[in-house]
Structure formats: structure tokens, C-alpha cells
A = this chain, B = another copy of it.
């Protein structure tokens, strides 16, 4: 009483105490069927009395796999450090799912620029017998790495913002959908003349955002006006230029949707330069929720990738273990801040 025994109880001790076989104990611990209610109770009491908890090392060996989920992401040590928020959010989501299922999270940042990362990754996966892997962007889109993971035969899911569907598990977010929601938001504020600043055409996720914009306009009964679409190249400067054009329009838009935050920040800067007060005279939205979005004034209404939820879903998919191809879309979270407001009357 009080003082713990120094050696932990094993399944054998429990079996003896409950006068059943170790296999039966194993059954109740693992919630397997075919155990009489009475027996289960007996065993559970013995477990409680002995404070038995299964030893994962032994279980791992017998099951031929561990209770470890690997989270693989680009090593922030490789470049500079502002990506920490990104990584923490991924970790949080993954951890949430791990805890819910009695697994543990192994983090494995890796620098894809180095030679031999693929092999190193394989070693870790195989040696530790990871139960599953989640690959975060940008690594999740590097086929060399994906293939390495694939070769281990360990189940894995890619978190891939550019939703390339392949015959394996993957979770993504839908940029188009989110952009449409931005338009919903703006429409609900009474905006009718909405401009758009496109991004770099070569970036798939960014062009998706334009589609989403059109979709949003459509479903809110708004008309797409060619002269309100201006192209940018993802940079702050291109945002300023785009704003200059849009705000010079005779029939000036009351809101400007941008394909990313940097351009939106440029738009804000230009609008202020022209003496407009935001959001009273102009609403502006971005996309990505970079740190800058919270630092400028007014703070930027934008969309942030649901990293945490995606990571969580990824781990869950791993564990539910439906074999075969699956992919899931988790919708992005609108961040309503101060750069959007009611349309000027």
C-alpha cells in the first residue's frame, strides 16, 4: 500500500491473479471479442489491482510494428526559422490524433537538399518499425522522398496543398473553395464590385484561387468583370501596382481579393497611399495567413491552411487503416480580421 513494487506487473501476473490464461488477459486488454462479461470483469479488476499496463516494447516486437507515428517535414534548421509556427501547428494536430489512439509521435525533420535523405528516412522507418508516416509539404510533393517511403511498405499519407490525387492516401485543402468563401463573406457585407489580383500562373494552388473567386461570384449572383481582374506575380510590389490600376478605375471596386497575402499587403499600402481609409472605403483580403498578415494595419482578413486539422486527419487515416486509395479535403479556415468591412454605401 503506498509504496510501489519496483518491478512492474506483467501480463503473466495479471493472468495468475485473475486465474485465467495470459491469452485471455491479452484479449481483454486489446478489446478482442469472445470474452465472457464475467471473465472480463475479473481480469479488469486484477489489472486495476496490479496497476498493470502493457509494455509497448514487448507488444511492438510481437506485433512487428511500433506504436509510433512519424511526422516528416522539411528541416527548419536548413533555412531560416520563421517556419516554426507552421511546424508546431502540424505537430499539434498530429499529437491530438496520436493521443486519442494511444500512439506516440516521432518527429523527423529532414533536409531534402542533402544526399541520401531517402535512404536515411527508410532506415528510421524500418528500424523503428513505425506504424505510419505523415509527410508534410513541401516534402510531400517530392516524389523522390515519397517513393522512398513507399518502398518501406509502411502506410503513409501525404499532406498536399496542391491536391494531386494518386493511388494512395492524402489529405489536402481546397484553395478554390476557401476563396469562394471569402467572396461569400464579402458579399454578405454588401460588396458587389469585387476586384481580384491573380498570382503567379505557374503555381497551381494560386490559379485555383482564381477559379474559387469566380465560383464565389457566381453563387452570390455577382458578375465577373474583366477589367476588375488584374494580374500580379505574388510579390508585394505587384500588389501595389495592381491596386494602382484597380483604384484608378472609373467604377472602382469596393473590395479587392488577392491570391496571396504579400500582394494583399501591397494593395493595402497603395490604398493608404491614395488616402483611402480601410476598411471603410475599401476591403482587402489575402491568402495564406503569413505573419505579415497580422502585422500590417489594418490586420488582414485572410485564409490559413488548416494544418493542424490536416495533420490530425492524416494520422487518423493512418490508424483507421482502410487500405487503398483515399483522399480527403479539409476546408480552410477563414481568418476574419480588420481589413474587411461593410461596403461603403
Contact = CB atoms under 8 A, between A and B. Distances in A.
Contacts of A54: 127
B56 A76 contact: no
Contact of A104 (B4, B61, B92, B106): B106
18 contacts: A53-B126, A56-B128, A57-B57, A57-B60, A57-B66, A57-B129, A58-B61, A60-B61, A61-B61, A68-B106, A76-B92, A77-B92, A81-B89, A84-B87, A84-B88, A95-B109, A105-B107, A106-B106
Contacts of A19: none
A262 B57 CA distance: 48
Interface string A126-167: 111100000000000000000000010000000000000000
A56 B130 CA distance: 11
Interface in A74-130: 76-77, 81, 84-85, 87-89, 91-92, 95, 104-107, 109, 123-124, 126-129
A89 B83 CA distance: 12
Contacts of A280: none
B127 A56 contact: yes
A55 interface: yes
A109 B87 CA distance: 14
A23 interface: no
Nearest to A104: B106
Given A76-B88, A88-B88, A104 B128 contact: yes
Interface of A: 4, 8, 53-58, 60-61, 64-68, 76-77, 81, 84-85, 87-89, 91-92, 95, 104-107, 109, 123-124, 126-129, 151, 295
Contacts of A66: 57
A91 to B, nearest CB: 7
B92 A127 contact: no
Contacts of A84: 84-85, 87-88
B127 A53 contact: yes
A127 B128 CA distance: 16
Nearest to A91: B107
Contacts of A65: 57
Given A105-B106, A127-B53, A88 B92 contact: no
A304 to B, nearest CB: 12
Contacts of A8: 126
Contacts of A85: 81, 84
Contacts of A88: 76, 81, 84, 87-88
A60 B68 CA distance: 14
A179 to B, nearest CB: 25
A64 to B, nearest CB: 8
A61 B59 CA distance: 9
Contacts of A67: 128
- Residue in A81, A91, A109 with the greatest tally of chain B CB atoms within 10 Å: A91
Nearest to A76: B88
A57 B57 CA distance: 6
Contacts of A107: 91, 95, 105, 107
A106 B130 CA distance: 13
A309 to B, nearest CB: 13
Contacts of A151: 4
A323 to B, nearest CB: 17
